[in-house]
Amino acid sequence: MASGTLDTLPKDLRKEIEHLERLFTVDGAKLKEVTNHFVNELEKGLSVQGGSIPMNPTWVMSFPDGNETGTYLALDMGGTNLRVCQVTLTETKSEFDIIQSKYRMPEELKTGDAEELWEYIADCLMQFIETHHGDPTKLDALPLGFTFSYPATQHYIDEGVLQRWTKGFDIAGVEGHNVVPMFEAALKRRGVPIKLTALINDTTGTLIASAYTDPKMRIGCIFGTGCNAAYMENCGSIPKLAHMNLPPDMPMAINCEWGAFDNEHKVLPRTPYDVIIDKDSPRPGQQSFEKMVAGLYLGEIFRLVLVDLHDNHETHIFPGQDIAKLRKAYSLDSSFLSLIEEDPFENLSETFELFQTKLGLTPTGPELELIRRTAELIGTRAARLSACGVAAISKKKGYKECHVGADGSVFNKYPNFKARGAQALREILDWPEKADPKEDDPIEILAAEDGSGVGAALIAALTMQRIKQGNMHGILHPENFRTVEPLVA
């Protein structure tokens, strides 16, 4: 918002905006402080003692080089859909073909019986195979990469012990158990010719899929409903794996689960609104970073600010109006803020209509200016803090130049998120000003390839490749891999 616009506002509203600017603005010095603490916390997560950030080894032990070939299946189990993909890595370097089908995840299955869930998934896979390959009894077992994006402990690439359900799932008898035998038992009962080769997290998939098409990729990130990152570490820098005597220079993809950064509240610039979000959340004291940057929370921070300005300040915004709809927790998501920030009109007429239709409120002109500035402040803070994580991995690994593959609704759809993140990286890493505005930044955050589909298939390919080369680290059932071959492209 131009300062000229601020000058024309009534004094009380101007005071409120200035107060919000002090609360939500994160300057370059603070970004550097957050980044340095982030580097230490990444290190701590890799140590034997561990820390807030889990830093999970994934047993994905190389980047693709673009020459991988063969046809692999990928299964992506999301909250709303089940996606089955057949990915063919072609003879042409870094190219792939993909066939995919989506199947709705019935709501009743999400709180039903574990066996029913796995049988439904097996049925969908069988349907896909019959459609694309004909008679399943005539097929050898096909290799599958399974994107299971729920918090899971992995001591092997072909296992995953579910820590807790998220995304609306709550099925008894699965938490604390390895999901792979349950899945494989359902495949066996249905006669589905598939062998699970790798269980992966979507963030690790994003890293690997992006690296397949772009050799400069070093980090994969998700900025969506939640937030996360993955990168490639050397086994010698992972003290918690020292007992396995892995070669120190052997690579290992790490799924950071960095939403848990600063759960101790040492460095993140939390506002009273962030404190309320944490206190009222299902898991107070957890996922502190995520609660300040992820799409799930941005609309809620905004809503809390507006309710506070109506209830508790001298400037009672929306006076004499019923704010019942605005009082409903989590009724506004990040797309609501996107629409406000995208409003192209000087008089913010689209924002006015949005408030009337969604919330039954009629904001004045000055209130619209306050609304717009509040959205900008929250969106900008999220982008700038997100950049601290990217900068921390880059500093830890000594990356001076690289590409970062990012996916997720906030990265792809939130206005100015990319530009604000890039500006923050420039401030944290002290890059000189560009001579030419078209010049690339040393570390560029770019749109990622499909991590949960192509990434899962590639990880299945890389796992089979390393087993053939005799690298059996992190494989629970080597015998399963003797009978599995990719279809020839």
Residues forming the active site: 149, 164, 202
- Three-state SS string over 271-338 comes to CHHHHHHHHCCCCCCCCCCHHHHCHHHHHHHHHHHHHHHHHCCCCCCCCCCCCCCCCCCCCCCHHHHH
User: Looking at this protein, which amino acid is placed at residue 90?
Assistant: T
Which residues share a beta bridge with 363?
A: none
CA distances from 224 to 314, 333, 413 (A): 36, 11, 9
- Does residue 128 sit in helix, strand or coil? helix
Quote the CA–CA distance of 122 and 35 in Å, as a whole number: 44
CA atoms within 13 A on the CB side of 379: 26
For 232, residues 6+ apart whose C-beta sits below 8 A from its C-beta are: 63, 207, 218, 251, 252, 253, 254
Q: Look-up: residue for tokens 């019986």?
A: 113
Quote the CA–CA distance of 268 and 451 in Å, as a whole number: 29
Quote the CA–CA distance of 13 and 206 in Å, as a whole number: 44
Quote the CA–CA distance of 204 and 183 in Å, as a whole number: 21
Quote the CA–CA distance of 217 and 219 in Å, as a whole number: 6
Quote the CA–CA distance of 292 and 263 in Å, as a whole number: 12
Provide the strand spans (E) within 32-104.
56-57, 70-77, 81-89, 96-104
Quote the CA–CA distance of 6 and 2 in Å, as a whole number: 7
- The answer to whether residues 221 and 228 touch, using CB atoms and an 8 Å cutoff, is yes
For 65, residues 6+ apart whose C-beta sits below 8 A from its C-beta are: 215
- The answer to whether residues 443 and 404 touch, using CB atoms and an 8 Å cutoff, is yes
- Does residue 88 sit in helix, strand or coil? strand
User: Looking at this protein, which amino acid is placed at residue 109?
Assistant: L
- The answer to whether residues 379 and 420 touch, using CB atoms and an 8 Å cutoff, is yes
